[in-house]
Amino acid sequence: MVTMPQRLPALAACALLLPLSAWGQTLEIATDQSPNGLDPQLATAFSTALIDSNIYEGLTAIDQDLRVVPALSDRWTVSADGLVYTFHLRNGAVFHNGREVTPQDIIANLARVRDPKTGSPFASRLAGVKDVSAAGADGVSITLAAPSAPFLAQLASIAIVAPEAIADLGSKPVGTGPFRFKEWVPDTDIALERNPDYWDKGLPALEGLTFDIVPESTAREAGISSGTYQLLPVLDATSAVALGGQPDVKLLETQDLAYSLIGLNTSRPPFDKPEVREAINMAIDRAQLVEAVYFGRGVPGGPLSPALTQWALPTGDFPCYKPDPAGAQKKLAAAGITGKLKITLNVLGSVQQVVDVAQVVQAQLNQAGFDVSLNVQEQGRFIADWRASNFDGFVSLNSGGPDPDDYFGRTFQTGGATNVFKYSYPALDKQLIEARAATDPAVRKKIYDDVQRILACTGPVVHLAYGALFAAVRDNVQGFVPMATRSLRALRATTLAK
C-alpha cells in the first residue's frame, strides 16, 4: 500500500526526530467529538460531560459502583416525611475564581436550571422541587412537593457553576472541580489545568488535562500506540480489539450504562399496535447482535442496564427476547398485517457503532420477513426529527441513568420530557408515580419488576444491548478507572509515571 518512494523520506525524517517526543505531567486524552458547548446546565452530550466532569461538581456525585456519594455537600439530612433535604456545604470549597461557595450560589444555580428561560434539559430532574432556601451560613435546604427516591441521584447531574460567570459559561466555564479551564481551540483541543485550591487537598495529582479532538479511529489508535495520547476514554469494541495486542497499551473495561435501542413511534401505524412492537422484539437475535457489533463484549439488555444490579431483571424473564421469527410473523398476522411490513428506521450516523447495530438489525428483520430501509442521518437532522417525533422508528445509543425512576419517568410516562415515542399506558403511569413516592426499596423493586416486564416486550423502545465500555491507557497511566456513567471523575486521582 505504501510505495517505497513515499516511505523512504518518512523513514529518514523519523529517525532524526524520534528523540524529541517527550511530555510533562499533562495527560493527553483523545476523544472523537467536540463538546457541544461547555455549559453543564445546557448541554447533555457525552462529549460535553466527559470534560465537564473534571471542571464541575454537584452537591452529590455518583461513584464507580453507581452509589450516591458526597461532593460539594459533605453531609446531608432528610426529614422524616422525606420532603426536606438539608445539605451542608463543604468547608473550603471555592470556585476557580477564588470565591468561596455560599448557600446563595446553590440557590442561584438551582433557580437557573429551573427557569424556563434558561432552557435547561436538566429542569425535569428538579421538577419536584417546591422551595430552596439557605439553612444557616453553610447549608441549603430543599423542599420537595412529594417524596422522591431518586432525588439524591438526580442532584448529582446538576453541576454547580459560579453565578457571576454565567454569561460566558459555554466557552469559559468556572466551577469547583479538580481541574479548571485553560483554553479551548475549537475542533482541536481543550486544555484544563490543575485547580490548586481544590477542597480535597493533595488532589488532583496531574498538572493538567488536554482533550484532543481526533475524529478518526485509525488516528486515535495510531496516537495511543505511538504515545502521542495516553488515554482514550471511550472506545468501541472494534478499536478495543484492534488495540488488544499493542505493547505499552492497557485496555480497561466496565459495563456501560448506555445501550443501543430501536425507538418506535407509537402514534403512527404500524407501531401503534403493541403486537407489532412485540414482533420486532421477537424477530431480533440479540446474542448475534452482541457478537457482531460488540465482538461478544456486551450483553443483551432489558429496560434497565445490568450495571444496576439491584434493579435489573435478567433478560430470561422476557419471553419475547427468545429469537422467534415465526412467532413474530404470527404476531403481525394477529395485528392484521399481511405481506412484508415496510418500515424505515432513522439512524444516528455520527456514531459508527450505531450504524453497525442498525445494519445487523436490518439484516435480522429482513430475514424475519420485514422490509427495512435505513435512513442514516447526520446528528443535527437526527435530533431535529427525534425532537419532533418525526420518525416511524429510529436506531440510536442512549445514556441510561443510575436510577430507574429518572429514566422510566421521563421516557415512558405519558407526556414525559423524552417520551418522543408518544407512548401512553395509563396503568404504567400509575405504577411509576407510585414507585417514585415509595421510599421502601422492596416496594419500589416490586413495582419496577412489573414495569420492566411491561416495557420489555410491548414498550416503545426495543432495548438491544449494553456493550462493555472500554478505555485504553498507556502503561504509565495509573489510577484511572472507567465508569459506567462515562464520567471521568477518576482522573482526579490519576497519576502519570515517567
Partner 1 sequence: MPRHPLLWTGVALVAAQALAALLAPRAAPFDPNVQNILARFAAPTAAHLLGTDNFGRDTLSRVLFGYRTLFAISTLSVFAALAVGGSVGVLAAWRGGWADKVAMRLMDVLFAFPVILLAIGVIAVLGPGAASTAIAIAIVYTPIFARTLRAPALLLKDSEYVTAARAIGARDRRIIWRHLLPNLSPIILVQTSLSLSTAILVEASLSFLGLGTQPPTASLGRMLAESRNFLALSPWPAAFSGAAILLAALGFNLLGDAAQDLLDPRLRSQR
Partner 2 sequence: MIKALLIRAGELLFVLFGVSLLTFMMIHLVPGDAAQIMLGASDTSPEHVAALRHRLGLDQSLLHQYLLWIGAALQGDFGTSAWTGQPVLHEIAGRVGVTVELSVLGLTLAVLIAVPLGCLMATLRSSVADIAARVLSVIGVTMPSFWLGAMLLYGAGAIMPRMQVVGWVPFAQNPAANLQRMILPTVAIALPVLASLSRVVRAAMLDALSQDYTRTARAKGVTEWRVVFIHALRNACFPFLTSLGIAAGYLFGGSVVVEQVFALPGLGRLMVGAIAERNYPLIQAAILLATVTFVLVNFLIDLLYLVADPRARTS
* Residue 366 interacts with partner 2 (CB under 8 A): yes or no: no
Q: Which amino acid is at 250?
A: K
Shortest spacing between CB 377 and partner 2, in angstroms: 9
Q: Which of residues 20-49 bind partner 2 (CB under 8 A)?
A: 20-21, 30, 34, 36-37, 42-45
Q: Which of residues 53-112 bind partner 2 (CB under 8 A)?
A: none
Sign of the CA dihedral 203, 205, 208, 214? Answer: negative
Burial class of residue 370, CB neighbours in 10 A (0-12, 13-18, 19+): buried
Our measurement of the distance from residue 268's CA atom to the centroid of its chain's CA atoms, rounded to an integer in Å, reads 28
Q: Are 280 and 368 in contact (CB under 8 A)?
A: no
Q: Which is nearer to partner 2, 386 or 466 (CB)?
A: 386
- In the beta sheet, which residues pair with residue 89? 73
The residue to which cell 435530533 is assigned: 383
60 touches which of partner 1, partner 2, none (CB within 5 to 8 A by kind)? none
- Calpha distance 74→161 (Å, rounded): 18
Q: Is the previous residue joined to 204 through a cis bond, with omega within 30 degrees of 0?
A: yes
Q: Which is nearer to partner 2, 219 or 376 (CB)?
A: 219
Q: Supply the angle between the helices 286-294 and 352-367 in degrees, to the nearest 10.
A: 140
Pattern of binders to partner 2 over 163-182, x per CB under 8 A? -----x-xxx----------
359 touches which of partner 1, partner 2, none (CB within 5 to 8 A by kind)? partner 1
Q: CA nearest 496: which of 29, 19, 48?
A: 29
Residues 259, 370, 386, 391: which binds partner 2 (CB under 8 A)? 386
Shortest spacing between CB 261 and partner 1, in angstroms: 18
Pattern of binders to partner 2 over 116-145, x per CB under 8 A? xxxxxx-xx---------------------
Residues 4, 80, 187, 339: which binds partner 2 (CB under 8 A)? 187
* Residue 185 interacts with partner 2 (CB under 8 A): yes or no: yes
User: Maximum CA pair distance of the chain?
Assistant: 78
241 touches which of partner 2, partner 1, none (CB within 5 to 8 A by kind)? partner 1
Sign of the CA dihedral 448, 353, 296, 325? Answer: positive
Contacts of 144 (CB under 8 A, 6+ apart): 82, 83, 84, 85, 128, 129, 130, 151
Our measurement of the distance from residue 220's CA atom to the centroid of its chain's CA atoms, rounded to an integer in Å, reads 21
- Grid coordinates representing 324 are 422467534
Residues 330, 342, 387, 430: which binds partner 2 (CB under 8 A)? 387
Residues 9, 98, 316, 339: which binds partner 2 (CB under 8 A)? 9
* Residue 208 interacts with partner 2 (CB under 8 A): yes or no: no
What stretches of 314-454 adopt beta strand conformation (E)?
341-348, 370-377, 393-398
Secondary structure letter of residue 246 according to DSSP: -
Q: Which is nearer to partner 1, 82 or 325 (CB)?
A: 325
Shortest spacing between CB 262 and partner 2, in angstroms: 15
Sign of the CA dihedral 163, 166, 168, 169? Answer: positive
Shortest spacing between CB 474 and partner 2, in angstroms: 12
119 touches which of partner 1, partner 2, none (CB within 5 to 8 A by kind)? partner 2
Q: CA nearest 125: which of 75, 58, 170?
A: 58
Q: Which is nearer to partner 1, 97 or 373 (CB)?
A: 373
Q: Which residues lie near partner 1 (CB under 8 A)?
A: 1, 216-218, 221, 238-239, 241-242, 288, 291-292, 349-350, 352, 355-356, 358-360, 362-363, 366, 373-378, 380-381
* Residue 7 interacts with partner 2 (CB under 8 A): yes or no: yes
* Neighbouring C-beta atoms of residue 93, cutoff 10 Å: 22
Secondary structure letter of residue 100 according to DSSP: B
C-alpha distances in Å from residue 272, one per residue of 335, 365, 371, 413: 10, 18, 18, 16
Q: Which is nearer to partner 2, 117 or 498 (CB)?
A: 117
- Grid coordinates representing 245 are 495486542
Pattern of binders to partner 2 over 314-353, x per CB under 8 A? ------------------------------------x---
Q: Which of residues 388-427 bind partner 2 (CB under 8 A)?
A: 396, 410, 416-418
Q: Which is nearer to partner 1, 292 or 454 (CB)?
A: 292
Q: Which is nearer to partner 2, 102 or 188 (CB)?
A: 188
Shortest spacing between CB 460 and partner 2, in angstroms: 15
Shortest spacing between CB 220 and partner 2, in angstroms: 8
